[in-house]
Amino acid sequence: MRKKIVAGNWKMNTTLQEGIALAKDLKAALAGKTVKCDVVVCTPFISVASVAKEVEGSIIGVGAEDCSAQEKGAYTGEVAANMIASTGAKYVILGHSERRQYHGENNALLIQKLQQALANGLTPIFCVGEVKEERESNTFKSVIEGQMAALYTLSAADFAKCVVAYEPVWAIGTGLTATSEQAQEVHAFIRKSIADHYDAKVAEETSILYGGSCKGSNAPELFAQPDIDGGLIGGAALKADTFMPIIEAWK
């Protein structure tokens, strides 16, 4: 059975103190509750170690928002996958549209990052998705297939350690949301693509998350779709009281 996952991506928000406070709030909100999904928070590098320590012993998993393509060395400002793993974090977001757009990340670089993450026991949450023009020109499936090609360099065993996140770029932080039917169509397309590259079993066991202005009000409808296994949540993950309804959308 596929894992259901609700993961928060804090992006470049929260100071160290604010991040610890948010983690504390979320931990308190989850205390004593039975939830039907894995809960993950991916924090800025400055907060990963402190948040991991704060949520130790809880059901909350911790991740980083990126990692270096390099193992170690003279790469000022970079953070290696083994450094992230040393904090107790278990996840790393790779290929987010903002990294692709603002930092020019391409498949060649992302393949290296995937290799570093997997070599250090981190679960990559690998993002794919189209911009508005690609959606309107109906080329979005070929765009997503091209982005998935980085994952398809992995063996089936390594691919099985990854999570895919579909994020229509036109719906990130815009207040626009893909309809549940639009989201389901792409998730089903991604799952079929995985089956074509590996096999039906690998595809059936891959968790595919939806991201793009997902919130408490639309999460139940999105999560009811057969190929949507959770969410990668931006703004709504920055407060426990807006993140919790998304977690609780899994009944």
Residues 6+ apart with CB under 8 A from 34: none
- Can 221 be counted among the known catalytic residues? no
Integer angstrom CA distances of residue 149 from 82, 99, 132, 173, 209: 25, 17, 21, 26, 18
Alpha-carbon gap, residue 146 to 139, rounded angstroms: 11
Whether 228 contacts 4, CB under 8 Å:
no
Q: Is 74 exposed, middle or buried (0-12, 13-18, 19+ CB in 10 A)?
A: exposed
Report the phi/psi class of residue 166: left, alpha or beta, with left for phi > 0 and alpha for psi in -120 to 50.
Answer: beta
| Strand-pair partners of 36 | none
Out of 98, 167, 187, 248, the active site residue is: 167
CA distances from 38 to 59, 72, 248 (A): 7, 31, 11
Choose the catalytic residue: 96, 105, 130, 187: 96
Whether 96 is catalytic is yes
- How far the first Cα of the chain sits from its last, in Å, is 16
Helix (H) and strand (E) counts for the chain?
Answer: 12, 8
What residues are annotated to the active site?
96, 167
